[in-house]
Amino acid sequence: MDLQNVVSVASKDFESYKRKKSVIAYTFGLPLVLCAAFTLVVQSDIVPAIQSGTSINSVGLGLESLIYFFVIFAAVLPTSIAAYSIVGEKVEKSLEPMLATPLSDNEILLGKTIASLVPPVLTTWLGASIFMAASDYLLHSVISYYYFPNLNAGLMLFLLAPLAALLGVEVAVIASSRISDVRGANQLGGLMWIPFMVIFIYSAEGNFQFSVDNLLLVSGVLAVIELVLYFVTTSTFRREQILTKWK
């Protein structure tokens, strides 16, 4: 595999994204909206709760739950980009010329994966970083120290979120082989929020804690699932199948 070819494919997709205002707005806008909304939650709910005598350990569960929402968005955001990158290009007849080049299937797939993965992960980190900084600013006066960053938040953002994003990309690639329009692929890929939301619901009910051990366990399970899906995506993303069998 020639990494220069991978970079070329990713760069081509990055240039395409610049012309898609909806993709840019979706990728950058949602994490920032999430950041603003959660900052208001901290200001209006969590800070008053601490001032009224609630311990930081109790509200800390709420703070970590808010960070976990960035993981959920990290799983959903790449599906839109991946759907456009593959299904959109096939609909626009711009994928076939790339398949006619000497680039290998794996080089094309890896380049498109990187292009679909990097922007959402970076914007997720950006939104979460602003939220944590704003939370520290609001909380410092009542708890006398900076709550963020901490180990749990680090595991969520730098281990679980990238794995969630990669899972979203793999599912979008598989979905692209069965769906002939970008909207359909995007909607199917958007269902990626469901398994992560189930974890959040279990957490809200007290059946799951965002502890180091649990976060590592979930990350390990995701890694195993993604390893299996890797073989599915590489067997699905083949020239012959794309040109003859993809809808």
What confidence category does residue 105 fall into, taking pLDDT thresholds of 50, 70 and 90? confident
pLDDT digits (tens, 9 = 90+) for 73-102: 898 888 877 777 776 666 666 666 666 677
What confidence category does residue 160 fall into, taking pLDDT thresholds of 50, 70 and 90? very high
What confidence category does residue 218 fall into, taking pLDDT thresholds of 50, 70 and 90? very high
Q: Which of 74, 244, 235 is nearest to 166 (CA)?
A: 74
What confidence category does residue 177 fall into, taking pLDDT thresholds of 50, 70 and 90? low
The residue count of the chain comes to 247
Distance from C-alpha of 133 to C-alpha of 119, rounded to nearest angstrom? 21
Residue 182 is predicted with a pLDDT of 61
Radius of gyration over every alpha carbon of the chain, rounded to an integer in angstroms = 20
Q: Which of 192, 175, 190, 186 is nearest to 247 (CA)?
A: 175
Say what the pTM is: 0.88
- Report the 10 Å Cβ neighbour count for 105: 16
The percent of residues above 90 in pLDDT, for the chain, comes to: 34
- Report the 10 Å Cβ neighbour count for 51: 10
Residue 153 is predicted with a pLDDT of 94
DSSP letter for each residue of 51-98: HTT--HHHHHHHHHHHHHHHHHHHHHHHHHHHHIIIIIHHHTT-HHHH
Contacts of 35 (CB under 8 A, 6+ apart): 127, 128, 130, 131, 134
Residue 232 is predicted with a pLDDT of 86
What confidence category does residue 35 fall into, taking pLDDT thresholds of 50, 70 and 90? very high
Q: Which of 172, 173, 177 is nearest to 188 (CA)?
A: 172
**Boundaries of every domain in the chain:** 3-244
